Structure 1
Amino acid sequence: MRTDAPAGAGSRARDIRQLITYALVGGSGVLLDMGAFLLLYNVIGLHEQVANVLSTSLGITNNFVLNALFTFSKRDRLLMRYLRFYAVGLTGIALTFVLLAVFSRGLGIDPNLVKAGSLPVVLVFQFVLNRKWSFA
């Protein structure tokens, strides 16, 4: 009876661990992003798009640090990796910008709901880009 793992099993286990860790890190970034957005938009009164850029930037920076340390364990070329990670983050800002414009401005849906609904879509898209480009 063969007892060794099939080829690729270790790689799949690593992939699953990375995805889980990325999602947990992403969750911390989402909480930070959403909390900052709620504060900036609802309490301070910034325009929804300005609040989105600032809150998302805060979440991106949080996620970069935690992903570099825990998810991908990459501590080399940090400035280049951060710039790539931020560029990927900008895709999230752009996607959320469009969603806010369409659903909030265009259809009158509460910007808080639109922002919250955009987060899972952006998270999955960015995991793929960050894994293949920022932390390759």
Structure 2
Amino acid sequence: TKDCRAVLSLRQIQTMAKAWMCMCFLIFFHLSSERNFIKANAEMKTWCVAKPSSDQATLLDNINYACSHVDCRILSSGCPCYSPGNLINHASIAMNLYYQANGRNYWNCNFKNSGLIVITNPSYGNCYYEYT
């Protein structure tokens, strides 16, 4: 029986060694995956646009506020982002200029809950939404 216990003990050691190897691999895989996930999120480009449900008064307030802090000449007549000349497009461009200039923090796109952070570039035609 002594020999039997020694063999059993050896089997237990072998099983534990395999379990530890698997555990080490899983920990390594988890840590390397998490780092890549964080890195991908840190590099993700974001823009700020006006929510489609925003009313005209709110959009106008957003344009006035943003353009009092950043250069909105891109919205002037004859410039690439003037057309189409509607409030939602102009507000989105102004809000994004403000958002980009202030570090792309989520609170810089709030605009009294009328801003929306997007991961798809909203540029159109010759109007390019700034990304800094």
Structure having the higher strand fraction is 2
Larger radius of gyration: 2
If the length of structure 1 is used for normalisation, what is the TM-score?
0.30
If the length of structure 2 is used for normalisation, what is the TM-score?
0.31
Higher RCO (C-alpha under 8 Å, 6+ residues apart): 2
Structure having the higher helix fraction is 1
